[in-house]
């Protein structure tokens, strides 16, 4: 049976402004936290490559849009840099407006619909100096930024996202040290998560009140949680894991209420965030669609030794290393294709079957250059197999009624990735940093161009 996808399926790829754009000091942009952190501690970044130039999309977007057209992509997600659009948080930067307008227009002229996200981990430094996500003022600042973006680009952008993977700036910045400000404190992390949620709602509210044309959603990393086995204590660990990793953000955003189990855990451990009167009114502002980033599942088991009150998530659940797991040996992540089906069915059954799409899925490969053939084409059969396996399960979820409208690979052209810089390559196109950032198609780009043309997997 041919595995065909619904008519009008969104085929594309995803990236973000800070990971592709470069031009960190050009066009009136102010520094982001990443720009400043790199200046302070370049040794923390792989090969000491920082965010200042990344893939130079600031100058090369037209070239990239042409490659997208050649690959038949009909959509592409990237983000706006807050620091470029409003360098001081208040003043609209005309150079930024001109740049993004031409970028989005060029995508459209190449048959590529821009899906535009507002925040992809790139906190402005001026805001970080005032406490970043810990300072409630960010909610109004973010809503103002969102509204300025809707006004400036609303005629060109019909699909907006408020955030990419908000869980990541919470956990990497406030429960670990992979993002600035490298704080490890549950209470502060919860407050940061709460302000992030309010900022999301405030942006959706601005979108609704401005009566802008189009749709607004958000992008979450939703890894399905699997228990070690059916023992009751491990099933309970799975439920706690889901409350933390999935329902914490998904319940308020899609269902309009906080997850009761998570609230109980926060209360028991004196971790409730500071709220203001009428905050709950925000919960009335719902999204039109959901973006789901899926790379690998979370596997858990009961934690017999957790401290009370808890000091970290590890006091609640313990990770489980499934001995039979299939690995991506080039990145060290598990590959579990069926996870994408399980997410699809969870959205169908527990989240009102809201329209959703895979906003990121992909396979990172360290040292990928070694797979280049004599013509410099990376023979990435492993990536083709990865995409085909995931699309097959996604197709199954759609057959069973899950309301999925698209699939975006991370990423289009290999891009810079935070502390990992250019270590793990994910693109349909290779970037050759030795040859001035030259873009070279990989084998997977030819395979995918056919899938898109046929709107179906090969038989
Ligand atoms: C996702 C992020 C992306 C990107 C990707 C790859 O979670 O949304 O920004 O960085 O992960 O990550 P890495 O380069 O660490 O393998």
Percent helix / strand / coil, the chain, rounded to 5: 45, 20, 35
d(CA 450, CA 282) in angstroms, rounded, equals: 44
What is the whole-number distance in angstroms between the Cα of residue 174 and the centre of ligand 1? Answer: 18
Longest CA pairwise span in the chain (Å): 65
21, 113, 165, 337: the active-site residue = 165
pLDDT in tens, 109-155: 999 999 999 999 999 999 999 999 999 999 999 999 999 999 999 99
Q: Which residues, at least 6 apart from 165, have a Cβ–Cβ distance to it below 8 Å? A: 120, 121, 219, 220, 221, 293
Q: List the residue whose alpha carbon is closest to atom 9 of ligand 1.
A: 417
What is the whole-number distance in angstroms between the Cα of residue 254 and the centre of ligand 1? Answer: 24
Query: What residues does ligand 1 touch, defined as CB less than 6 Å away?
Result: 16, 19, 164-165, 221, 293, 331, 360, 364, 410, 417-418, 420, 424
Q: Dump strand ranges (E) for 34-112.
A: 75-79
Q: List the residue whose alpha carbon is closest to atom 4 of ligand 1.
A: 417
pLDDT band at 107 (very low <50, low <70, confident <90, very high): very high
Tokens of 69: 């057209």
Q: What percent of the chain has pLDDT over 70?
A: 100
d(CA 424, CA 47) in angstroms, rounded, equals: 12
The single residue listed with the structure tokens 């040290």 is 177
Verify whether residue 360 is a known catalytic residue.
Answer: yes
pLDDT in tens, 252-270: 999 999 999 999 999 999 9
> Ligand 1, closest atom to CA 168?
7
What is the whole-number distance in angstroms between the Cα of residue 277 and the centre of ligand 1? Answer: 36
- Say if residue 308's pLDDT is above 90: yes
pLDDT in tens, 318-362: 999 999 999 999 999 999 999 999 999 999 999 999 999 999 999
User: β-pairing, 365-366 with 356-360?
Assistant: unpaired
What is the whole-number distance in angstroms between the Cα of residue 425 and the centre of ligand 1? Answer: 10
In the chain, where are the structural domains located? 3-457
Residue 237 has a pLDDT of: 98
Q: Which helix (H) or strand (E) holds 425?
A: strand 424-425
Residue 287 has a pLDDT of: 98
What is the whole-number distance in angstroms between the Cα of residue 170 and the centre of ligand 1? Answer: 15
Residue 117 has a pLDDT of: 99
**48 DSSP 8-state letter:** G
Q: What's the burial of 255, exposed, middle or buried (CB within 10 Å: 0-12/13-18/19+)? A: middle
pLDDT band at 399 (very low <50, low <70, confident <90, very high): very high
d(CA 43, CA 61) in angstroms, rounded, equals: 30
**134 DSSP 8-state letter:** G
What is the whole-number distance in angstroms between the Cα of residue 94 and the centre of ligand 1? Answer: 30
d(CA 403, CA 351) in angstroms, rounded, equals: 11
Contact of 73 with 452, CB cutoff 8 Å = yes
**Number of helices (H) and strands (E), helices first, in the chain?**
15, 17
> Ligand 1, closest atom to CA 418?
10
Residue 1 has a pLDDT of: 86
DSSP helix/strand/coil, 201: helix
- Name the superfamily (CATH) of residues 3-457: Glycosidases (3.20.20.80)
- Say if residue 425's pLDDT is above 90: yes
Residue 312 has a pLDDT of: 92
Verify whether residue 165 is a known catalytic residue.
Answer: yes
Contact of 134 with 191, CB cutoff 8 Å = yes
**420 DSSP 8-state letter:** G
d(CA 108, CA 87) in angstroms, rounded, equals: 26
Model's pTM, two decimal places?
A: 0.98
The single residue listed with the structure tokens 């793990």 is 424
Q: Which of 32, 328, 417 to mutate to test the pocket of ligand 1 (most atoms within 8 A of CB)?
A: 417
* Alpha carbon 94 to chain centroid, angstroms: 27
Q: List the residue whose alpha carbon is closest to atom 14 of ligand 1.
A: 417
* Alpha carbon 22 to chain centroid, angstroms: 19
21, 242, 334, 360: the active-site residue = 360
DSSP helix/strand/coil, 220: strand
Buried residues in 263-275 as b, exposed as e (16+ CB within 10 A): eebbeebebebee
Phi, psi of 314 (to 5 degrees): -65, -15
d(CA 158, CA 215) in angstroms, rounded, equals: 6
- Nearest Cα neighbor of 289 from 408, 400, 170 is 408
Tokens of 269: 């451990």
Q: List the residue whose alpha carbon is closest to atom 10 of ligand 1.
A: 417
d(CA 152, CA 150) in angstroms, rounded, equals: 6
Q: Which of 360, 383, 414 to mutate to test the pocket of ligand 1 (most atoms within 8 A of CB)?
A: 360
Q: List the residue whose alpha carbon is closest to atom 11 of ligand 1.
A: 417
């Amino acid at each position: 049976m041919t595995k065909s996808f619904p008519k009008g399926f969104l085929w594309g790829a995803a990236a973000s402004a800070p990971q592709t754009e470069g031009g960190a000091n050009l066009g009136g942009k102010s520094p982001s936290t990443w720009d400043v952190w790199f200046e302070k501690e370049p040794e923390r970044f792989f090969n000491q490559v920082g965010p200042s130039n990344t893939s130079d999309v600031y100058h090369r977007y037209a070239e990239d849009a042409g490659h997208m057209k050649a690959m038949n992509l009909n959509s592409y997600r990237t983000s706006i840099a807050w620091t470029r659009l409003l360098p001081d948080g208040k003043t609209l930067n005309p150079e930024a407006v001109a740049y993004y307008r031409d970028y989005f227009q060029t995508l459209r002229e190449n048959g590529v619909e821009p899906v535009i996200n507002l925040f992809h981990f790139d906190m402005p430094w001026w805001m970080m100096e005032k406490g970043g996500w810990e300072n409630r003022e960010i909610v109004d600042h973010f809503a103002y930024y969102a509204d300025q973006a809707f006004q400036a680009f609303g005629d060109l952008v019909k699909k907006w996202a408020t955030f990419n993977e908000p869980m990541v700036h919470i956990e990497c910045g406030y429960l670990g040290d992979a993002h600035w400000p490298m704080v490890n404190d549950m209470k502060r992390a919860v407050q940061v998560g709460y302000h992030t949620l309010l900022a999301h709602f405030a942006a959706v509210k601005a979108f609704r009140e401005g009566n802008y044309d189009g749709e607004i959603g958000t992008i979450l990393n939703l890894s399905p949680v699997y228990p070690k086995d059916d023992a009751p204590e491990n099933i309970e660990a799975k439920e706690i894991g889901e409350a933390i990793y999935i329902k914490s953000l998904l319940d308020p955003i899609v269902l309009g209420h906080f997850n009761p189990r998570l609230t109980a855990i926060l209360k028991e451990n004196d971790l409730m965030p500071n709220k203001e009167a009428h905050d709950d009114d925000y919960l009335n502002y719902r999204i039109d669609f959901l973006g789901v980033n899926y790379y690998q599942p979370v596997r858990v088991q009961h934690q017999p030794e957790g401290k009370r009150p808890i000091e970290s998530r590890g006091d609640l659940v313990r990770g489980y290393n499934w001995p039979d797991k299939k690995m991506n040996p080039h990145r060290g992540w598990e590959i579990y294709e069926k996870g994408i089906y399980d997410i699809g069915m969870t959205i169908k059954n527990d989240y009102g079957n809201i329209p959703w799409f895979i906003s990121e899925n992909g396979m990172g490969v360290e040292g990928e250059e070694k797979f280049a053939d004599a013509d410099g084409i990376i023979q990435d059969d492993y990536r083709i197999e990865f995409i085909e396996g995931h699309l097959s399960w996604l197709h199954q979820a759609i057959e069973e009624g899950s309301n999925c409208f698209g699939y975006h690979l991370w990423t289009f052209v290999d891009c810079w990735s935070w502390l990992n810089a250019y270590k793990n390559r994910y693109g349909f196109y290779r970037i050759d940093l030795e040859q001035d950032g030259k873009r070279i198609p990989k084998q997977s780009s030819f395979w995918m161009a056919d899938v898109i043309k046929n709107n179906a997997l090969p038989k």
